[in-house]
Amino acid sequence: MWHLYRDPGKTALLVSHKDQRVLYEHYLGVATKADAERYFGIVP
């Protein structure tokens, strides 16, 4: 996920995680830049 901004702290904040730990435990090595672009491209 953080591939879009290349900033795990900013990404954690944007997806409402308390800290970056969740990103590393659940997404490291799994999420791609394309995944990030699709996720952050969602608009209301």
* The model scores a pTM over 0.75: no
Distance CA 3, CA 23 (A): 11
Backbone angles phi, psi at 5, to 5 degrees: -105, -15
Q: What's the pLDDT score for residue 7?
A: 82
Find out whether 1 and 11 touch, Cβ atoms under 8 Å: yes
Q: What is the pLDDT of residue 9?
A: 84
Q: Is the pLDDT of residue 2 over 70?
A: no
Q: Which two tokens stand for residue 23?
A: 């990103």
Taking the mean position of all CA atoms in its chain, how far away is CA 15? 7
What's the pLDDT at 4?
64
pLDDT in tens, 21-44: 888 888 777 778 888 788 888 888
